[in-house]
Amino acid sequence: MNDRDIVRAISAIIGSSNTEDDCAVFPHGNEYLTATTDMLHEKTDFPKGMTDWQIGWMSAAVTLSDLASTGSRPLFLLLAAGLDDTGTERIEEITRGADDCCRKFGAKLAGGDIDSHDELTIVTTGIGAVSPDRYVSRKAKESRPLRAGDIVCVCGSLGVAERGLKDYYEALAANEKADTAAFKALCEPQPKVLEGQTLGKLGVLSMMDISDGLAISLHDLAELNGCGFSIDKSLIPTDDAAGIDFETAFFGAGDFGLLYVCSPETYEKIVAGSPESDSLSLGYKIGVVTCEKVVLVDGSIVENRGYLHSWQ
Protein backbone atom coordinates (compact mmCIF):
# COMPACT_ATOMS: atom_id res chain seq x y z
CA MET A 1 0.00 0.00 0.00
CA ASN A 2 1.26 3.51 -0.80
CA ASP A 3 0.21 7.02 0.15
CA ARG A 4 -2.14 7.40 -2.82
CA ASP A 5 -3.97 4.21 -1.77
CA ILE A 6 -4.40 5.62 1.73
CA VAL A 7 -5.67 8.95 0.39
CA ARG A 8 -8.31 7.09 -1.63
CA ALA A 9 -9.45 5.32 1.54
CA ILE A 10 -9.59 8.62 3.44
CA SER A 11 -11.53 10.28 0.61
CA ALA A 12 -14.29 7.70 1.09
CA ILE A 13 -14.77 9.13 4.60
CA ILE A 14 -14.35 12.89 4.14
CA GLY A 15 -15.03 13.26 0.40
CA SER A 16 -12.73 13.40 -2.60
CA SER A 17 -13.01 17.19 -2.81
CA ASN A 18 -11.13 17.35 0.51
CA THR A 19 -8.29 15.07 -0.54
CA GLU A 20 -7.64 15.63 -4.22
CA ASP A 21 -5.75 18.92 -4.08
CA ASP A 22 -2.56 20.38 -2.65
CA CYS A 23 -4.51 22.69 -0.32
CA ALA A 24 -7.82 22.90 1.48
CA VAL A 25 -9.82 25.96 0.41
CA PHE A 26 -12.19 28.09 2.53
CA PRO A 27 -14.23 31.11 1.38
CA HIS A 28 -13.35 34.11 3.57
CA GLY A 29 -14.79 37.48 2.66
CA ASN A 30 -13.82 38.37 -0.88
CA GLU A 31 -10.98 35.84 -0.94
CA TYR A 32 -10.23 32.17 -0.47
CA LEU A 33 -8.05 31.03 2.40
CA THR A 34 -5.85 28.09 1.45
CA ALA A 35 -4.34 25.71 4.01
CA THR A 36 -1.88 22.85 3.78
CA THR A 37 0.32 20.78 6.09
CA ASP A 38 3.42 18.61 5.66
CA MET A 39 5.37 16.20 7.86
CA LEU A 40 9.08 15.51 7.46
CA HIS A 41 11.24 12.98 9.32
CA GLU A 42 14.99 12.96 9.83
CA LYS A 43 15.54 9.37 8.65
CA THR A 44 13.58 9.69 5.40
CA ASP A 45 13.66 13.38 4.48
CA PHE A 46 16.84 14.97 5.85
CA PRO A 47 20.03 13.46 4.37
CA LYS A 48 23.07 13.41 6.63
CA GLY A 49 25.12 16.47 5.90
CA MET A 50 22.18 18.85 5.94
CA THR A 51 22.59 21.66 8.42
CA ASP A 52 19.87 22.35 10.96
CA TRP A 53 19.26 25.65 9.18
CA GLN A 54 18.63 23.73 5.96
CA ILE A 55 16.25 21.38 7.78
CA GLY A 56 14.21 24.40 8.83
CA TRP A 57 14.37 25.92 5.36
CA MET A 58 13.23 22.71 3.64
CA SER A 59 10.42 22.21 6.14
CA ALA A 60 9.02 25.65 5.35
CA ALA A 61 9.67 25.43 1.60
CA VAL A 62 7.70 22.23 1.00
CA THR A 63 4.59 23.81 2.52
CA LEU A 64 5.03 27.14 0.72
CA SER A 65 5.28 25.15 -2.51
CA ASP A 66 1.79 23.71 -1.94
CA LEU A 67 0.43 27.22 -1.47
CA ALA A 68 2.23 28.35 -4.62
CA SER A 69 0.52 25.63 -6.64
CA THR A 70 -2.87 27.27 -6.01
CA GLY A 71 -1.76 30.77 -6.99
CA SER A 72 -1.94 31.86 -3.33
CA ARG A 73 0.15 34.43 -1.59
CA PRO A 74 1.47 32.88 1.64
CA LEU A 75 0.39 34.50 4.90
CA PHE A 76 1.43 32.40 7.90
CA LEU A 77 3.36 29.26 8.71
CA LEU A 78 3.15 27.21 11.90
CA LEU A 79 5.95 24.80 12.80
CA ALA A 80 5.54 21.86 15.17
CA ALA A 81 8.72 20.04 16.13
CA GLY A 82 9.00 16.58 17.65
CA LEU A 83 12.46 16.70 19.23
CA ASP A 84 14.72 13.76 19.96
CA ASP A 85 17.55 13.85 22.49
CA THR A 86 19.59 16.21 20.30
CA GLY A 87 16.65 18.33 19.23
CA THR A 88 16.81 20.81 22.05
CA GLU A 89 20.27 21.82 20.86
CA ARG A 90 19.12 22.11 17.25
CA ILE A 91 15.73 23.79 17.36
CA GLU A 92 17.08 27.34 17.29
CA GLU A 93 18.87 26.87 13.95
CA ILE A 94 15.93 24.90 12.56
CA THR A 95 13.67 27.82 13.48
CA ARG A 96 16.06 30.32 11.89
CA GLY A 97 16.07 28.35 8.65
CA ALA A 98 12.27 28.17 8.54
CA ASP A 99 11.99 31.87 9.39
CA ASP A 100 14.47 32.86 6.66
CA CYS A 101 12.52 30.83 4.09
CA CYS A 102 9.24 32.42 5.17
CA ARG A 103 10.70 35.92 5.01
CA LYS A 104 12.08 35.36 1.51
CA PHE A 105 8.72 34.25 0.15
CA GLY A 106 6.48 36.70 1.98
CA ALA A 107 5.13 34.59 4.84
CA LYS A 108 5.34 34.96 8.62
CA LEU A 109 6.50 32.16 10.89
CA ALA A 110 3.84 32.66 13.56
CA GLY A 111 4.43 29.93 16.14
CA GLY A 112 3.73 26.23 16.48
CA ASP A 113 4.38 23.48 19.02
CA ILE A 114 7.21 21.48 20.58
CA ASP A 115 7.03 17.89 21.78
CA SER A 116 9.32 15.01 22.69
CA HIS A 117 9.86 12.37 20.00
CA ASP A 118 12.27 9.50 19.35
CA GLU A 119 13.08 10.92 15.89
CA LEU A 120 13.35 14.54 14.79
CA THR A 121 10.02 15.24 13.10
CA ILE A 122 8.88 18.59 11.67
CA VAL A 123 5.27 19.41 10.80
CA THR A 124 4.60 22.68 8.99
CA THR A 125 1.15 24.14 8.36
CA GLY A 126 0.73 27.01 5.94
CA ILE A 127 -2.11 29.49 5.40
CA GLY A 128 -2.42 31.53 2.23
CA ALA A 129 -4.95 33.74 0.47
CA VAL A 130 -6.02 34.16 -3.14
CA SER A 131 -8.86 35.86 -4.97
CA PRO A 132 -11.39 33.37 -6.43
CA ASP A 133 -10.64 34.40 -10.03
CA ARG A 134 -6.93 33.63 -9.54
CA TYR A 135 -7.27 30.40 -7.59
CA VAL A 136 -5.99 27.30 -9.42
CA SER A 137 -6.50 23.69 -8.34
CA ARG A 138 -5.30 20.39 -9.70
CA LYS A 139 -8.74 19.82 -11.20
CA ALA A 140 -9.83 22.31 -13.84
CA LYS A 141 -13.12 24.14 -13.33
CA GLU A 142 -16.30 22.55 -14.70
CA SER A 143 -16.86 25.71 -16.72
CA ARG A 144 -13.57 25.14 -18.55
CA PRO A 145 -12.29 21.54 -18.29
CA LEU A 146 -9.05 20.47 -19.90
CA ARG A 147 -9.41 19.91 -23.65
CA ALA A 148 -7.37 18.15 -26.27
CA GLY A 149 -4.74 20.56 -27.53
CA ASP A 150 -4.31 22.47 -24.26
CA ILE A 151 -0.66 23.07 -23.42
CA VAL A 152 1.22 21.17 -20.70
CA CYS A 153 4.05 23.15 -19.08
CA VAL A 154 6.64 22.93 -16.33
CA CYS A 155 7.93 25.85 -14.30
CA GLY A 156 11.26 25.21 -12.63
CA SER A 157 14.16 22.80 -12.94
CA LEU A 158 13.84 19.04 -13.36
CA GLY A 159 16.17 16.41 -11.96
CA VAL A 160 18.47 18.71 -10.02
CA ALA A 161 17.34 17.51 -6.59
CA GLU A 162 17.47 13.87 -7.74
CA ARG A 163 21.02 14.47 -8.94
CA GLY A 164 21.78 15.96 -5.52
CA LEU A 165 20.45 12.81 -3.85
CA LYS A 166 22.70 10.68 -6.06
CA ASP A 167 25.62 12.91 -5.10
CA TYR A 168 24.73 12.32 -1.45
CA TYR A 169 24.73 8.52 -1.79
CA GLU A 170 27.98 8.57 -3.77
CA ALA A 171 29.63 10.71 -1.10
CA LEU A 172 28.23 8.47 1.64
CA ALA A 173 29.70 5.37 -0.04
CA ALA A 174 33.07 7.12 -0.23
CA ASN A 175 32.79 8.25 3.42
CA GLU A 176 32.82 11.85 2.25
CA LYS A 177 30.54 14.85 2.65
CA ALA A 178 28.27 15.77 -0.27
CA ASP A 179 29.28 19.25 -1.40
CA THR A 180 27.77 19.94 -4.80
CA ALA A 181 25.39 22.55 -6.19
CA ALA A 182 22.82 19.84 -6.79
CA PHE A 183 22.98 18.66 -3.16
CA LYS A 184 22.52 22.27 -2.01
CA ALA A 185 19.48 22.54 -4.28
CA LEU A 186 18.07 19.36 -2.74
CA CYS A 187 18.51 20.77 0.77
CA GLU A 188 17.31 24.31 -0.02
CA PRO A 189 14.34 24.01 -2.42
CA GLN A 190 13.00 27.25 -3.85
CA PRO A 191 9.18 27.19 -4.02
CA LYS A 192 7.71 28.97 -7.05
CA VAL A 193 5.59 31.38 -5.02
CA LEU A 194 5.64 34.46 -7.28
CA GLU A 195 5.45 32.27 -10.37
CA GLY A 196 2.37 30.52 -9.04
CA GLN A 197 0.64 33.82 -8.30
CA THR A 198 1.44 35.14 -11.77
CA LEU A 199 0.23 31.95 -13.48
CA GLY A 200 -3.01 32.17 -11.49
CA LYS A 201 -3.49 35.76 -12.61
CA LEU A 202 -2.87 34.74 -16.22
CA GLY A 203 -5.61 32.13 -15.95
CA VAL A 204 -3.93 28.72 -16.19
CA LEU A 205 -6.48 25.91 -15.97
CA SER A 206 -4.85 23.32 -13.69
CA MET A 207 -1.71 23.30 -11.56
CA MET A 208 0.15 21.28 -8.93
CA ASP A 209 3.64 21.20 -7.52
CA ILE A 210 5.89 18.39 -8.72
CA SER A 211 7.69 17.52 -5.50
CA ASP A 212 7.10 13.79 -6.11
CA GLY A 213 8.50 13.91 -9.66
CA LEU A 214 7.15 14.87 -13.07
CA ALA A 215 6.00 11.42 -14.23
CA ILE A 216 3.84 10.62 -11.22
CA SER A 217 2.49 14.19 -11.19
CA LEU A 218 1.39 13.86 -14.82
CA HIS A 219 -0.48 10.68 -13.93
CA ASP A 220 -2.10 12.37 -10.92
CA LEU A 221 -3.26 15.33 -13.02
CA ALA A 222 -4.49 13.17 -15.90
CA GLU A 223 -6.50 10.86 -13.62
CA LEU A 224 -8.12 13.75 -11.78
CA ASN A 225 -9.09 15.58 -14.98
CA GLY A 226 -10.21 12.52 -16.95
CA CYS A 227 -7.80 13.16 -19.80
CA GLY A 228 -4.37 12.14 -21.06
CA PHE A 229 -1.10 13.84 -21.91
CA SER A 230 1.24 13.47 -24.85
CA ILE A 231 4.74 14.52 -23.83
CA ASP A 232 7.56 15.30 -26.25
CA LYS A 233 10.75 13.77 -24.85
CA SER A 234 12.91 16.33 -26.63
CA LEU A 235 11.23 19.10 -24.60
CA ILE A 236 12.31 17.61 -21.26
CA PRO A 237 15.53 19.47 -20.43
CA THR A 238 18.59 17.35 -19.69
CA ASP A 239 22.17 18.28 -18.86
CA ASP A 240 24.85 15.67 -19.49
CA ALA A 241 27.52 17.81 -17.88
CA ALA A 242 25.48 18.04 -14.67
CA GLY A 243 24.59 14.35 -14.73
CA ILE A 244 20.90 14.94 -15.45
CA ASP A 245 19.63 12.52 -18.09
CA PHE A 246 16.01 11.95 -19.13
CA GLU A 247 15.44 9.32 -16.43
CA THR A 248 16.62 11.70 -13.73
CA ALA A 249 14.64 14.67 -15.06
CA PHE A 250 11.40 12.79 -15.73
CA PHE A 251 11.16 10.51 -12.70
CA GLY A 252 13.29 12.36 -10.12
CA ALA A 253 11.62 14.04 -7.14
CA GLY A 254 12.33 16.97 -4.84
CA ASP A 255 12.55 19.91 -7.25
CA PHE A 256 9.35 21.67 -6.08
CA GLY A 257 8.56 23.22 -9.44
CA LEU A 258 5.09 23.59 -10.90
CA LEU A 259 3.27 21.47 -13.47
CA TYR A 260 0.41 23.33 -15.13
CA VAL A 261 -1.97 23.21 -18.08
CA CYS A 262 -3.21 26.27 -19.95
CA SER A 263 -5.13 27.08 -23.08
CA PRO A 264 -3.18 27.84 -26.27
CA GLU A 265 -4.29 31.48 -25.92
CA THR A 266 -2.93 31.74 -22.38
CA TYR A 267 0.29 30.05 -23.45
CA GLU A 268 0.79 32.75 -26.08
CA LYS A 269 0.49 35.37 -23.33
CA ILE A 270 3.05 33.50 -21.22
CA VAL A 271 5.46 33.28 -24.15
CA ALA A 272 4.94 36.94 -25.06
CA GLY A 273 5.67 38.05 -21.50
CA SER A 274 4.49 41.13 -19.63
CA PRO A 275 5.97 43.77 -17.33
CA GLU A 276 4.83 41.74 -14.30
CA SER A 277 6.28 38.45 -15.53
CA ASP A 278 9.39 39.43 -17.49
CA SER A 279 11.56 39.01 -14.38
CA LEU A 280 10.16 35.50 -13.81
CA SER A 281 10.70 32.25 -15.65
CA LEU A 282 7.15 30.96 -16.00
CA GLY A 283 8.06 27.69 -17.62
CA TYR A 284 8.20 25.83 -20.88
CA LYS A 285 5.96 23.58 -22.93
CA ILE A 286 6.50 19.82 -22.65
CA GLY A 287 3.40 18.47 -24.38
CA VAL A 288 -0.35 18.68 -24.95
CA VAL A 289 -3.60 17.34 -23.50
CA THR A 290 -5.19 14.38 -25.30
CA CYS A 291 -8.59 12.65 -25.09
CA GLU A 292 -6.98 9.24 -24.56
CA LYS A 293 -6.66 8.66 -20.81
CA VAL A 294 -2.98 7.70 -20.74
CA VAL A 295 0.33 9.49 -20.33
CA LEU A 296 2.51 9.11 -23.41
CA VAL A 297 6.10 10.07 -24.08
CA ASP A 298 6.86 10.13 -27.80
CA GLY A 299 3.80 7.96 -28.37
CA SER A 300 4.60 5.25 -25.81
CA ILE A 301 2.81 4.77 -22.49
CA VAL A 302 5.02 5.79 -19.60
CA GLU A 303 4.98 4.09 -16.22
CA ASN A 304 3.50 5.79 -13.19
CA ARG A 305 6.62 6.12 -11.09
CA GLY A 306 7.96 8.70 -8.66
CA TYR A 307 8.36 9.33 -4.95
CA LEU A 308 5.86 7.35 -2.85
CA HIS A 309 5.53 6.57 0.84
CA SER A 310 4.93 2.82 1.04
CA TRP A 311 3.73 0.39 3.72
CA GLN A 312 3.81 -3.39 3.63
Per-residue pLDDT tens over the stretch 30-40: 999 999 999 99
Q: What's residue 283's pLDDT?
A: 94
| Structural domain for 43, as ranges | 22-133
Structure confidence by residue, pLDDT tens digits, 130-146: 999 999 999 999 999 99
Q: Is residue 146 one of the residues assigned to a domain?
A: no
Q: Is residue 144 one of the residues assigned to a domain?
A: no
Burial of 196 (0-12, 13-18, 19+ CB in 10 A): buried
Q: Is the confidence at residue 7, as pLDDT, over 90?
A: no
**Residues 95/56, Cβ–Cβ less than 8 Å:** yes
Give the residues across from 152 on adjacent strands.
261, 287
Confidence of residue 46 (pLDDT cuts 50, 70, 90): very high
Cα distance between residue 149 and residue 263, in whole Å: 8
Q: Is residue 291 one of the residues assigned to a domain?
A: yes
Q: Give the number of domains in the chain.
A: 2
Confidence of residue 20 (pLDDT cuts 50, 70, 90): confident
Q: Is the confidence at residue 14, as pLDDT, over 80?
A: no
Cα distance between residue 290 and residue 150, in whole Å: 8
Based on the domain organization, do 157 and 118 belong to the same domain? no
Structure confidence by residue, pLDDT tens digits, 62-111: 999 999 999 999 999 999 999 998 878 999 999 999 999 999 999 999 99
Torsion (CA) 195, 199, 200, 201 in degrees, nearest 10: 100
Q: What's residue 77's pLDDT?
A: 98
Ramachandran class of 20: left when φ > 0, alpha when ψ lies in -120 to 50, beta otherwise: alpha
Q: What do you get for the CA distance between the two ends of the chain, in Å?
A: 6
Structure confidence by residue, pLDDT tens digits, 268-286: 999 988 766 667 899 999 9
Q: What's residue 10's pLDDT?
A: 76
Mean pLDDT of the chain: 93
Residue % of the chain over a pLDDT of 70: 96
* CATH number for the domain harbouring residue 187: 3.90.650.10
Based on the domain organization, do 237 and 95 belong to the same domain? no
Based on the domain organization, do 111 and 180 belong to the same domain? no
Cα distance between residue 216 and residue 225, in whole Å: 14
Of the candidates 126, 308, 300, the one whose C-alpha atom is nearest the C-alpha of residue 220 is 308
Based on the domain organization, do 294 and 163 belong to the same domain? yes
Q: What's residue 183's pLDDT?
A: 96
Q: Which of 107, 133, 159 is the endpoint of a domain?
A: 133
Cα distance between residue 53 and residue 62, in whole Å: 15
Based on the domain organization, do 196 and 101 belong to the same domain? no
- CA distances from residue 190 to 108, 109, 274 in whole angstroms, order as listed: 17, 17, 23
Q: Is residue 142 one of the residues assigned to a domain?
A: no
Strand pairing class (284-290; 31-41): unpaired
Q: Is the confidence at residue 312, as pLDDT, over 70?
A: no
Based on the domain organization, do 231 and 279 belong to the same domain? yes
Structure confidence by residue, pLDDT tens digits, 163-204: 999 999 999 999 999 999 999 999 999 999 999 999 999 999
